[in-house]
Amino acid sequence: MFWELQARETLLDFHRNQDTIMTNQINRAERFQKKQLKELKEAGQVDMYPEVSLRNMEEIFRNIAIVVLISVLLIVSPMFLSDRSKQMTELQYTSRTGRHLFRKKFAAGMFSSFIVMTVLLAVYLSFYSLNDPSAFFEVPINSFIAAHYWYHLTFFQYIVLSIVAIYVLGFILTIISMGISTLVPSFISLIGIQVIVVLTLLIFGLKYMLSLMVSMGVPIWLVPVLYGILIMGVILITWRLWMRERKLDIVL
């Protein structure tokens, strides 16, 4: 009860001092943030709801993304290297359809990743639903205390956007992992390179491409540019790998 009374008093203070709080935040904000903060102040989407549910959702989705991405990596990493380590490539390429196996394996890897991500998301989101987040589904995310975002999304739209981001990151990691699997000479090399890729993605990628993807704490152009670079990169990787397979000579 004492904790609830203290929390209620804090919320009342935010409601009573909204104008002063927003004015101070606008004065302290960077130049590229001021316009958005002024629009939020005029719309009244400021410091109306406790931020506990929002922070809880962001933390849970970050942990879900970590589990999903590592699971995808474990599934698709050995896909191409496994056949090469067993010296099956030479035998496959002697048949008419041998070189088309690359496309089939690639499609199978993407489909497998989709199934893994869907199953894991369904399981973990069912656990998350036990927190009863539906009470805030229609609340604008900019209305939570100390939360400022570039886009006027509701809490439910923010959840959907986070799920889409996890899928996109999962497919990007899938293509990168399969690309590495076609190039490395051994499983030891595969593990070593994949560890670097995963650590980079988990330490830096998830921060900007999931946790801060719509946050006003970073420039509005940064996250779309990062996604654009990665998507163009994996498209180039896919094209180069396919061209390499078409022209690859078999040395007996």
Cα(73)–Cα(195) distance, integer angstroms: 10
pTM of full prediction above 0.85? no
240: helix, strand or coil: helix
CA angle 186, 192, 196 (to 5 degrees): 145
Contact 35, 131 (CB under 8 A): no
Best CA proximity match to 118, nearest among 170, 77, 70, 78: 170
What is the number of other CB atoms lying within 10 angstroms of the CB of residue 77? 24
What is the number of other CB atoms lying within 10 angstroms of the CB of residue 147? 19
Cα(63)–Cα(78) distance, integer angstroms: 24
* pLDDT (tens place) for every residue of the chain, 252 residues total: 666 666 677 677 667 667 666 666 677 667 777 777 777 766 666 667 778 888 899 999 999 999 999 898 888 887 766 666 656 666 666 666 666 677 788 888 899 999 999 999 999 999 999 988 888 898 888 888 777 888 888 999 999 999 999 999 999 998 888 888 777 777 777 777 888 888 888 888 888 889 889 888 888 888 999 999 999 988 998 888 777 776 665 544
The pLDDT value given to residue 2: 65
